[in-house]
Structure 1
């Protein structure tokens, strides 16, 4: 159950990010900023979580960065098409 607090923090951050994304629906650039911010928060969360679990390796960090970059790029490209 110790890990649950980390996942709760991530879930709350993602929900706040989703709320901001919807709130800024009138401005694509602000939505992109929210998406990039969520990507950064996701990477930082992964680093903190794995550091606390004593499983922090460069490979893990690179994996979080890769997922964040791929997701951010996909959403940004979709926003630019809309």
Structure 2
């Protein structure tokens, strides 16, 4: 790798805004906010809107479309031809 052309890749803590769950990973993202992690070190903190912990598909809170009701409404409106 060429020196001086790559961004700084460092440990960062991401926090899910809706659940409060945090995880430590590495990223090139930076932040002025910091948080003390379980290991006693201080890392930059990035607050995100959605993670796998709060995403509806992964949590099971996904909306299920009522396709049967839509078909019946279509047939009621336009009739079976």
Higher strand share: 2
Which TM-score bucket, shorter chain as reference? under 0.3
Q: Which has more radius of gyration? A: 2
Q: Which structure's relative contact order is higher, taking Cα pairs within 8 Å and 6+ residues apart? A: 1
Query: TM-score with structure 2 length normalisation?
Result: 0.25
